């Protein structure tokens, strides 16, 4: 049996989400280097407390950790949808909702806009549920 996955919308958005997750630590890490110095940030323990960072950097760090927590379930759903043949227009819609809602959530979280970030998180969650329903309905 030869396994062949297609780079459809779902998979592409998973890759884009991974890219966002890979690069979004850079701004808050630059703020940490500016605040604590490169030597301290590149050194060993104790790690400086991020509570000393500017508020935006603390919020971006939390948004990053939130994406790290949520990319796993999103990736699992997208990949299972591909492997089971459940991928289609509805899973693409779910992936779009997750990806774009995540971008809004990251921006709103970093800017400190509480209800927008919470709403965006919920929209992304709905995107995952849409994908899940397509898998379970197969």
**Whole-prediction pTM:** 0.91
- What rounded mean pLDDT belongs to the chain? 93
pLDDT digits (tens, 9 = 90+) for 48-62: 888 999 999 999 999
Residues with Cβ within 8 Å of residue 98, at least 6 apart in sequence: 13, 17, 74, 124, 127, 128, 131
Tell me the domains of the chain and their CATH numbers.
9-24+55-136 (1.20.120.550)
d(CA 108, CA 129): 22
The pLDDT value given to residue 39: 86
pLDDT higher at 76 or 1: 76
d(CA 90, CA 134): 7
What Cα–Cα distance (Å) separates residue 129 from each residue in 12, 17, 137? 19, 17, 12
DSSP 3: -
What is the pLDDT averaged over residues 19-25? 97
What is the pLDDT averaged over residues 107-132? 97
């Amino acid at each position: 049996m030869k396994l062949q996955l297609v780079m459809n919308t779902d998979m592409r958005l998973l890759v884009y989400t991974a890219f966002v997750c890979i690069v979004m630590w850079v701004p808050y890490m630059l703020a940490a280097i500016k605040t604590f110095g490169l030597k301290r940030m590149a050194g060993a323990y104790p790690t400086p407390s991020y509570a000393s960072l500017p508020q935006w950097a603390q919020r971006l760090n939390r948004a990053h950790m939130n994406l790290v927590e949520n990319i796993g379930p999103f990736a699992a759903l997208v990949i299972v949808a591909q492997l089971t043949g459940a991928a289609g227009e509805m899973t693409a819609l779910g992936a779009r909702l997750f990806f774009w809602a995540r971008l809004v959530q990251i921006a709103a979280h970093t800017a400190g806009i509480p209800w927008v970030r919470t709403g965006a998180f919920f929209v992304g969650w709905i995107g995952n549920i849409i994908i899940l329903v397509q898998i379970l309905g197969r």
